Structure 1
C-alpha cells in the first residue's frame, strides 16, 4: 500500500513541460516540428506534457525579450512548477548565447530546483555523464559560433548592397526620392512615403527629387557657406516662406544641420555609423569603420560646397576649447533656465549636442560641469532609452514571427505601423511600469489615434521595466478611449484581450492554404 504523497510524487515525476523557440532561420525549427518531435519523444519515454513555454520568432542570443524562457525559469525557481522534466528539441533551442556558460547556467537553475532537462533530438542522453557534459559544451559553443558566422555573413551581405548603391531603409530626405529597381537594375518607379518593396529581389536606391526641392537644398548650402547664415537663420527663412520639410513639418536648426552634414546629398551611400551586433550594446562606430560607397547616387549638391559646409561645422567645435564650450553652455543655461539636447542644438553659436557628448563623454557630465542638475529623474530617462530599444526589438520580433508562420508584414518606417498580409494594420505600444506611492503598479497607455491602426499590441513591461510582462491585443473598434490606465487586474472588459505571449497573434496572422480555408 502506497501513501498518498508517494502516489502524488510518482504521478508528477512523469509530468513534463516543453520549451520551444523559433527564430526565422530554418523550417526545421518551426514550432510545429519541434512540438511533434518532442511529443514523439515524450510518448516513447512515458512523459505527459502538461505545459508549453514558447518564444516564437525569438533570437537565441540573449534571454531579454524571451518571455517563454524567462517565465519557465521564474516558475521553476519560484517553486511553481508542477512538473519534473523540461523537454527541449535540441541544445541550440535553449539558446545561441555568445557565452556558452549562460546556456549552462539556465540548465543548472533547473537542475538545482530538481527539474531535469532532456534534449529530444540529440544523439546523447543528458544524464550528467562526462560524455554528455563534453558534448553539450561543444554543442553550446557551436550554437554561439553559428550566430557569429551568420552575423558576419549578414554584415558582409549588407555591406555589399551598400557598396552597390542600394538603400538600407530610412526616409530619403528633403530633395531626394526612393526609386524601386528590379534585380536587373531596371527602374520600376518612385516609392511614395509609406510604400515599400514587395518582392525580395527588388532593391531601393536614391534619385533626385523635384527641382524646387533641389533648389532649396542648394540654397541652404549657399546661405550657410557663402552668406554666413547660421542654421537658425536658415530655418527661420524657410518657415517664413511657407516651405515644409519632407515630413510636412516646420524647419528647425537641427533639421538644417542634418542636411548640411549628410553625404547622401553628394551621392554617397553611408552605412554602419552605429551597430548592434549579436544583441550587444549599441555602439557609435568610428568613421573609419563606416561602409561608404562614393558616387552611389546622383549628387544634387557639389562636393566642394558640401565639404566647405563640413569644414565650417567641424571648425565650430574644434576651434573651441573645453572652457569655451562650457562657457557657451553656461550662457544657454542662464538664457533658458535649463539645458537639454534640443536647447543645445537650437542655440546659435554652440556646437551640436553630439559635439558635447564626444568632448565630455556625455551630456550629463557637461551639465554637471556648468552646475546644472536636472530635476528629472534620470532613471526615468535611462528606462525610456531602454524601452526604445525594446520597442525596436518587439517590432522586429513581431515581423519575424508573422513571416515565420507564412504571413506578410510590411512596416512603415515613418509611423512604425505594420501592415499584416495586406489586410489589417498593427501598432505596437510599450507600456512602462510605474509604482504609486501606495505601492501599486500602474501602466499608462496612449493609443495611436492619428493613424487608427486596426489593432494595437500593448506590451506591458514588468516591474523592473526590463522584460515584457504580458501583451494586450486591443482592437481599435472596441476601444472607446485613447488613453488607458491599467492596473494589475483590469476586469474582463480589458483582460479578455490579455495574453502571456504573441503566439495567439501569430496564429491569426498565419496564412492558410486555399483548400484549408475552403
Structure 2
C-alpha cells in the first residue's frame, strides 16, 4: 500500500526490436518469417530464448505497446489452480502509460491477424494438412508453423489428442519414430519416482535437498546438481543400438541419473549415472561400448542408483575444504597488498 510502481518502456534496443516487428509484419504478414529473421540475427526474447511464431504473435497483440494496461485476465483463489477469466471481467485502463507503437499501426496489424483467422472444422483441418503433405513431401511442427492457412501444431493436438493421431488420420508415416511420445507421460511418472528414491537416499545419508519443487531436477546443499532423465533406445539397421538423452532444458553441471529403456522403449533395461559438464546443447548419445569406454556406471535397480548418488554427494561434502575464518582473511589480503606496493 505504501509503494508506487511506474511502468515505462524498456531499453532502446528492446524498443527498437518491438517497432521493427510491427513494421516487418505489415510487409511480410507472417510471424514465422519474422521469428526466423530474428533468430538469424541472434536476437533473443525478453526471457532469453529463441523466437517462435507464437512469441511474435504475442508481441503483435500486446496492447501495452499502445499505452493500455489490462488487469484481471487470470485469477487464483484459495491456493487453487490459476484460471483464465472471461473478457467481460477484464479491467482495461487505456492510454495510462507511454506508448511506443502508434495506435493506427497496432490496429492495422491486429485487423490483418483477425481477418486471417478462420474457424475450421476438423475435416477441413485435416484436408489442409493433406494438401501441405502433398506439396512438401513430409510434415513437421516447423512446416506446419510456417504454412499460411494451417492451424499451429498445438491446435491440432488439442483437437485430435496428439500429432501421431493426426498423422494416422491423414495416412502419413514419418520416417522418425515418434511412438515414444505417446508413452512419454508414463516415463515422466517413472522419472518422478526415481527422483523420490534419490532424494530419500540423500536425506538418509545426511544430505539436504534445496530444490524439491521439480520432479526432473535435484539440487543438493546448493552445490550439487542431479538431473533425472530417460535414455531413449534408438535402433540402427544392421548396427548396434544406442541410447539418447534429450534435454528439455539446459542441463546444469553435475550428474545425470537416467532410466535406460530397452528396445522399442517399452520397458526398463537398467539405470545409468553419467556426469554433465553444463555444455550439453541438445542430446547425449552413447552405445553400450561407449558406455563402458566412458566409464558410465550402470545399476540394475533404482535403489542401487540412489545409494550410489547419496554416497557421491556425502563423499563430496567430506572432501570439501574447510571454510576459512572470515575475520583473519582480510588481514592476510591486506598484508599481501602492502608487500606488493612496496
TM superposition score category, shorter chain reference: 0.5 to 0.7
Do 1:267 and 1:300's aligned partners in 2 also have CA atoms closer than 8 Å?
no
Structure 1 counterpart of 2:18? 217
Q: Is residue 2:282 matched to residue 1:485?
A: no
Structure 2 counterpart of 1:426? 226
The 1-side partners of 2:117 and 2:312 are apart by 54
Do 1:391 and 1:430's aligned partners in 2 also have CA atoms closer than 8 Å?
yes
Shift of 1:337: 0.5
The 2-side partners of 1:402 and 1:270 are apart by 42
Larger relative contact order (Cα-Cα within 8 Å, sequence gap ≥ 6): 1
Do 1:443 and 1:460's aligned partners in 2 also have CA atoms closer than 8 Å?
no
Q: How many correspondences in the alignment?
A: 289
Q: Which runs of 5+ in 1 are unaligned?
A: 1-183, 188-205, 278-284
Q: For residue 350 of structure 1, give the secondary structure of its aligned residue in structure 2.
A: coil
The 2-side partners of 1:347 and 1:432 are apart by 31
Do 1:269 and 1:294's aligned partners in 2 also have CA atoms closer than 8 Å?
yes
The 2-side partners of 1:299 and 1:391 are apart by 48
Q: Is residue 2:44 matched to residue 1:245?
A: yes
The 1-side partners of 2:199 and 2:60 are apart by 34
Change (3 A) 1:389 1:476: same
The 2-side partners of 1:505 and 1:311 are apart by 57
Do 2:258 and 2:273's aligned partners in 1 also have CA atoms closer than 8 Å?
yes
What are the equivalent positions in structure 2 for 1:243-322 lying under 5 Å apart?
A: 243-246=42-45, 251-257=51-57, 259-260=59-60, 287=84, 313=113, 316-322=116-122
Structure 1 counterpart of 2:329? none
What are the equivalent positions in structure 2 for 1:376-415 lying under 5 Å apart?
A: 376-384=176-184, 386-387=186-187, 390-391=190-191, 407-410=208-211
Change (3 A) 1:397 1:227: farther
Change (3 A) 1:475 1:234: closer
Shift of 1:229: 1.8
Structure 2 counterpart of 1:505? 309
| Deviation readout 1:209-235 (Å, 9 max, x if unpaired) | 5342244235435654x6672213323
The 2-side partners of 1:262 and 1:395 are apart by 39
Structure 2 counterpart of 1:328? 128
The 2-side partners of 1:400 and 1:210 are apart by 46
Q: Is residue 2:152 matched to residue 1:348?
A: no
The 2-side partners of 1:469 and 1:263 are apart by 52
| Deviation readout 1:371-395 (Å, 9 max, x if unpaired) | 4333444433323464456556656
Q: For residue 430 of structure 1, give the secondary structure of its aligned residue in structure 2.
A: strand
Change (3 A) 1:223 1:370: same
TM (normalized to structure 1)? Answer: 0.40
Do 1:473 and 1:498's aligned partners in 2 also have CA atoms closer than 8 Å?
no
The 1-side partners of 2:253 and 2:32 are apart by 36
Structure 2 counterpart of 1:147? none
Structure 2 counterpart of 1:373? 173
What are the equivalent positions in structure 2 for 1:149-164 lying under 5 Å apart?
A: none
| Deviation readout 1:167-205 (Å, 9 max, x if unpaired) | xxxxxxxxxxxxxxxxx9899xxxxxxxxxxxxxxxxxx
Identify which of 33, 44, 50 aligns with 1:233. Answer: 33
The 2-side partners of 1:286 and 1:373 are apart by 37
What are the equivalent positions in structure 2 for 1:160-239 lying under 5 Å apart?
A: 209-221=10-22, 223-224=24-25, 229-239=29-39
Change (3 A) 1:455 1:235: closer
Change (3 A) 1:227 1:466: same
Aligned-residue CA RMSD in angstroms?
A: 5.7
Do 1:417 and 1:426's aligned partners in 2 also have CA atoms closer than 8 Å?
yes
Do 2:72 and 2:91's aligned partners in 1 also have CA atoms closer than 8 Å?
yes
